Structure 1
Amino acid sequence: MDRRDFLRAVGLAAGVSGAGALLAACNANERSGGGALTVSPGGTLRILYDGTSQRLDPARSQSLAITFSGLIHRRLTAWKTSADGPTTVVPDLATDTGRASADGKTWTFTLKDGLKMSDGTPITSAEIKYGIERSFDPAFAGGLGYHKTLLEGGTSYSGPFKSGDLASIETPDAKTIVFHLARPYGDWPWIVSMPAFAPVPKGKGTDATYDSSPVASGPYQVASYTKGVEIRLTRNPNWDPKTDVARTGLPDEVVMQLGQDTGVMSQRLLASGGDDAHAFGAAFVNPAQLAQIRTNPAAKDQLVTSKSGALAYLALNTRRGPLANPKVRQAFQYAVDKTAYQIATAGTADLAGPVATTLITEGIVGREVFDLYPAPPTGDVAKAKQLLAEAGYPDGIQNLDFPVSTANNYADKAQAIQAALRRAGIETKLRPLDDDAWQAVATGNDDNAYDLTLTSWQPDFPSANANIQPLFGTSEIGNNGYNISRYSVPEVDALIAQAQGTVDPAAAGKLWAQADRRILQDSPIVPLIYTRNSFLHGSKVGDFAIGEFPAYPNYLQMGLAK
């Protein structure tokens, strides 16, 4: 999974931005003159993207279910997004979202009738099993890999070409697929919405060329792929819209234009000349441009902003020096100035995103709103000093090591944090690192590599599981795991295991909310803000909306006006 503040969902540009005062997702397609833009079948939808390539091989993809690869590949389940409610899991190739055994370790799915791939191959349980098995081969690594440790025997399996059959995936007949998990896991219906669960015809995908010419199961197939230039998708003649609740498949073609300059991209979309009227930007609109756009009334119809997004947070190394003391870490909750962080992020508070007080992000089922450390957004310096004195540091703390990535403007954001902490007598030494070096320090095995650091996190799927376990499970410390606060509490690990093994979503949600509170009592991180993302689209692009989760537009629902 991607562990930064953006997801490699469709290669979205790194950055955090937003303009909450401009346009909320719920009225994204309201026109200035009133009413919604009416879309119809046909036309060519264009996607402007600043990257030079895309992973189209489902085994190698980290794409979210609602983004580019979802136009090409279907999975057992899909996501239904909403601007006024949580994202839900819905059947895709399967007839339902899965049937669990009483112990939550066995999941059974039945496929819909009459499904075919773009080359005419019938979609049976064998094609799905082969696609999943293929994702284990090291030659096709890089995709989202939750299933690799969840499937029984997965940790020692190396794919069909080296290890043969994976016994924990059974296909008793052409329409039935059964998964045997190593432990109970209630979020398995979300896992099977990930790219690796797309069908692959037996014998296909044996070399790297599959990454540019995969066999399609979605509404579009790859007609051409010129790296650095464009990817052109045309209709898959074997896609049946009556079987697909997640995709409208309205445009005749979809073209992703690669290697686009983000600044020029925004200008083109606002002008909406020619083909650009039928285009949208896959990159976030940067804060400097947002400040200009918000003064342009004509741009209102073309800008869509998420309500919130990734959790930006300050991680405190619970295994190092003074920060091993929970009371010291609690002092940080009051010492930070979240308003200053918002300004450092995007210039103004409303552009940056709302202040955060919980670990579970907005738009996730089961999230509860609470604040264990109530204070003004600018902080409570007196309270921070009081807690430091009670912890045995009446004169403050000196020389805390504060490595920070130079990517995504983190250096400027870290300076805002540093200045706020200084007010409470907490002195830090900023240590700028390029992103690869920062990743090595933050996710490496040395518990003494740093005192605190700054990052963000957005889940890979719409469950509190993906908020909590990767950041606070003991298993995620070191070895490139993202528990960078080095937080390890047996009670929390047990609560995580209990929640993961609970099949009923409502019951699981209560356990995750309990875990949220329990973890924050120990203050391993300071939640800062829920970052906002903003996107521009051309004047003829409709059904362009951002749901409560994730903070990206749903590519699968868009259409064009004539």
Structure 2
Amino acid sequence: MRNRVTGAIAFAAAAALLLTGCTGTSNGGGSASPTSAKGGTLTILTQQTQINLDPAKSQNLAITTLGLLVRRLTTWDIQAGKDPKVVPDLATNTGVPSDGGKTWTYTLKSGLKFQDGTPITTADIKYGIERSFAPELSGGLSYHKSLLVGGDTYQGPYSGKQLASIETPNATTIVFHLKAPYGNWPWIASMPAFAPVPKAKDNPNTYTNNPVASGPYEVKSNQQGTQLTLVRNKYWNQDAVRTGGPDQIIYKESQDVSTSAQSLISNAGSAQDSFMADYLGAAQLNLVNQNADAKSRLVTSKAGPINYLAINTTRGDLKNLKVRQAINYAVDPKAFIIAQGGNQAAIRATTLITPGIPGRVQYDLYPAGEDGNVAKAKALLSEAGVSSLNLTLWTQNDASSQAQAEAIQQGLKRAGITVTIKPMDSNTFYTEVTTTNASYDLALSSWQPDFPSAAGNIQPLFASDQIGNGGFNLSHYNNPNVDKLIDAAQATIDQSAADTQWANIDKKIMEDAPIVPLTYARQSFLRGGNVQNFFVASFPAYPNYLKVTLAQ
């Protein structure tokens, strides 16, 4: 029986990643000066109306909001111009595997304390992970739930039960027992649920408002929908990835993106000490590009989430490989990029593994030029014996998604393929496309891995056990040989060897053409003039909040 590992719905839509992370810059670095000045009040402007601070319910990236408040066993070392690395955080190393990779052991560093000065123990980490299994705390990143022995039936600690596959033989040692070898476990141990939670301070209904801090900041006040204020945690010990620069960090919530952009463009008053958590849309980018000073403060990722056209491989003529290949050639990449906002917002995609992920190998199995290759598409349809193809395309109903769907529609029309667009609101779209018997032919979606490994690009989107039931194999792609290769790559402890395996799987999947890779999104963020160390590395496509400082 295959190991089911589910990712995060939030990462399927780039627009849903508002307070999660950042990527490479247009100039390769952004404002990543080596200074580590202390002091000042940093303001983060966000359109989010609620920030979930409960580690069990969070899908936050390790380098953004929650990373300021809580530490985990491991974390991400994200630096401008360098590949992402997993590094120790609360633990002394990234984990010691045994039993062929089915058992992972960690030892805590000495002197670790919560914000009230009490010691952090492995019992706090075990309890924090266990509470993530509770139904009332669902919604967070859930990879560990399917990997740990007994995780498929465990319902959390609130009924008095513990998860036996997490052992804490003493206050500084914690041992995890997995169902099968899993080489990426050090990345899993960096996820929010691996933050310590003191059982005596836990209330599942209110913990999200004021979690007990283990990072450089603690919550001073939290008015959901209005403002979150963080101040220094005096018991935090300087660690390798967090600068702890500002004395205070204020999140201003429910902010209009256009208004925030205008404020930062002007760079007056408190705007000088602020940055936007939301990436800029085409209208805001246009305004920034007209202002030389603001343009100098813009940071743009080299590449981020992959936008793709899922082809439902179980539907009619789409079962035919030549038809799916024809669609890959018929799509108009140039028109799709224009619909996304142009070259500053997207670059052409040809691989499943996104840029910035270690081990990625560039290739293009369906070279079609900037505008597609209509003649090649028609020839493949003729070889398949298909003369009339009518397809439904599901997409979200926002203006950007509909413009992108229309670009797909007009591109395929050139090859004689008729596309009917069915727009729907975001919640309905993701509910419907992840059902087992979804009736779409094509679906527009996007995906950013939850951690910087090719496993995060491949397994959630193409393993057969991710079809339906909330899974994101939107192509309903089912190739037993690929499933075996995915299992083997996941079980490989040597990550260099695993990278080679994932690159081979990438190309093998595209030989079956279950999707059309369209673009890698380029995301742009704007900072005020006093904000320093504001950069986007090769992964993820968001700024590293943990490094940001203010000019003193």
Q: TM-score, normalised by structure 2?
A: 0.96
CA RMSD of aligned residues (A): 1.7
Is 1:560 aligned to 2:529, yes or no?
Answer: no
- Note the residue ranges of structure 1 that are not aligned, 5 or more in a row: 31-35
Give the conservation status (yes or no) of the 8 Å contact 2:306–2:517: yes
Q: What residue in structure 2 maps to residue 477 of structure 1?
A: 467
Q: What residue in structure 1 maps to residue 295 of structure 2?
A: 300
Shift of 1:6: 1.9
Secondary structure, aligned partner of 1:370: coil
Mark the CA change 1:38 to 1:167 in structure 2 (over 3 Å): closer, same or farther: closer
For the residues of structure 1 that align with 2:152 and 2:15, how far apart are their CA atoms? 25
Secondary structure, aligned partner of 1:154: coil
Mark the CA change 1:230 to 1:189 in structure 2 (over 3 Å): closer, same or farther: same
- Which amino acid is 2:221 matched to? S
Mark the CA change 1:561 to 1:39 in structure 2 (over 3 Å): closer, same or farther: farther
- Which amino acid is 2:347 matched to? P
Give the conservation status (yes or no) of the 8 Å contact 1:98–1:189: yes
- Which amino acid is 1:323 matched to? L
- Which amino acid is 1:331 matched to? A
Output aligned runs, 1:122-161, within 5 Å. 122-161=119-158
- Which amino acid is 1:420 matched to? G
**What's the CA shift string for 1:406-429, capped at 9, x where partnerless?**
136211100010000010111111
Q: What residue in structure 2 maps to residue 33 of structure 1?
A: none
Is 1:4 aligned to 2:12, yes or no?
Answer: yes
Shift of 1:301: 2.4
Output aligned runs, 1:384-423, within 5 Å. 384-393=377-386, 395-397=387-389, 399-407=390-398, 409-423=400-414
Shift of 1:11: 4.0
- Which amino acid is 1:283 matched to? D
Mark the CA change 1:183 to 1:64 in structure 2 (over 3 Å): closer, same or farther: same
Give the conservation status (yes or no) of the 8 Å contact 2:365–2:510: yes
Is 1:247 aligned to 2:252, yes or no?
Answer: no
Is 1:289 aligned to 2:284, yes or no?
Answer: yes
Secondary structure, aligned partner of 1:217: coil
**What's the CA shift string for 1:211-250, capped at 9, x where partnerless?**
1011000000001001121110011010010xx1110101
Give the conservation status (yes or no) of the 8 Å contact 1:301–1:539: no
Q: What residue in structure 2 maps to residue 452 of structure 1?
A: 442
- Note the residue ranges of structure 2 that are not aligned, 5 or more in a row: 1-7
- 1:515 maps to which of 505, 510, 530: 505
Identity among equivalent positions (%) equals: 51
Q: What residue in structure 2 maps to residue 499 of structure 1?
A: 489
Secondary structure, aligned partner of 2:228: strand
For the residues of structure 1 that align with 2:545 and 2:374, how far apart are their CA atoms? 45
**What's the CA shift string for 1:35-64, capped at 9, x where partnerless?**
x59551111111001111110111111100
For the residues of structure 1 that align with 2:461 and 2:31, how far apart are their CA atoms? 36
For the residues of structure 2 that align with 1:327 and 1:50, how far apart are their CA atoms? 44
Mark the CA change 1:127 to 1:287 in structure 2 (over 3 Å): closer, same or farther: same
Q: What residue in structure 1 maps to residue 3 of structure 2?
A: none
- 2:416 maps to which of 419, 425, 431: 425
Q: What residue in structure 2 maps to residue 436 of structure 1?
A: 427
Output aligned runs, 1:319-338, within 5 Å. 319-338=314-333
For the residues of structure 2 that align with 1:4 and 1:407, how far apart are their CA atoms? 16
Is 1:524 aligned to 2:519, yes or no?
Answer: no
For the residues of structure 2 that align with 1:143 and 1:544, how far apart are their CA atoms? 27
Output aligned runs, 1:187-336, within 5 Å. 187-241=184-238, 244-336=239-331
For the residues of structure 1 that align with 2:268 and 2:284, how far apart are their CA atoms? 19
For the residues of structure 1 that align with 2:89 and 2:520, how far apart are their CA atoms? 30
For the residues of structure 1 that align with 2:27 and 2:43, how far apart are their CA atoms? 21
Q: What residue in structure 2 maps to residue 29 of structure 1?
A: 31
Give the conservation status (yes or no) of the 8 Å contact 2:11–2:17: no
Q: What residue in structure 2 maps to residue 383 of structure 1?
A: 376
Shift of 1:102: 4.3
- Which amino acid is 1:310 matched to? P
- Which amino acid is 1:373 matched to? Y
- Which amino acid is 2:548 matched to? M
Secondary structure, aligned partner of 2:423: strand
Q: What residue in structure 1 maps to residue 40 of structure 2?
A: 43
Is 1:536 aligned to 2:526, yes or no?
Answer: yes
- Which amino acid is 1:4 matched to? A
Mark the CA change 1:115 to 1:7 in structure 2 (over 3 Å): closer, same or farther: farther
**What's the CA shift string for 1:432-453, capped at 9, x where partnerless?**
1122222232111215x11111
Shift of 1:270: 1.6
Secondary structure, aligned partner of 2:444: strand
Give the conservation status (yes or no) of the 8 Å contact 2:308–2:518: yes
Shift of 1:152: 0.5
**What's the CA shift string for 1:274-325, capped at 9, x where partnerless?**
2211110001111112122123211122110000000000110000000000
- Which amino acid is 1:445 matched to? T
**What's the CA shift string for 1:364-392, capped at 9, x where partnerless?**
01111011111202111111111111111
Shift of 1:106: 0.4
Shift of 1:10: 4.9
- Which amino acid is 1:296 matched to? N
Secondary structure, aligned partner of 1:208: coil
- Which amino acid is 2:547 matched to? Q
The count of corresponding residues between Structure 1 and Structure 2 is 544
Is 1:364 aligned to 2:357, yes or no?
Answer: yes
For the residues of structure 1 that align with 2:430 and 2:237, how far apart are their CA atoms? 44
- Which amino acid is 2:518 matched to? L
For the residues of structure 1 that align with 2:255 and 2:294, how far apart are their CA atoms? 21
Shift of 1:7: 7.0
For the residues of structure 1 that align with 2:194 and 2:104, how far apart are their CA atoms? 14
Greater displacement, 551-560 / 77-86: 77-86
Q: What residue in structure 2 maps to residue 81 of structure 1?
A: 78
For the residues of structure 2 that align with 1:337 and 1:10, how far apart are their CA atoms? 29
For the residues of structure 2 that align with 1:534 and 1:160, how far apart are their CA atoms? 42
Mark the CA change 1:204 to 1:9 in structure 2 (over 3 Å): closer, same or farther: farther
Give the conservation status (yes or no) of the 8 Å contact 1:25–1:306: no
Secondary structure, aligned partner of 1:304: strand
Mark the CA change 1:197 to 1:60 in structure 2 (over 3 Å): closer, same or farther: same
For the residues of structure 1 that align with 2:435 and 2:130, how far apart are their CA atoms? 29
For the residues of structure 2 that align with 1:203 and 1:37, how far apart are their CA atoms? 40
**What's the CA shift string for 1:524-556, capped at 9, x where partnerless?**
000001000000011000000001000000000
Secondary structure, aligned partner of 2:66: helix
For the residues of structure 2 that align with 1:37 and 1:170, how far apart are their CA atoms? 41
Q: TM-score, normalised by structure 1?
A: 0.94
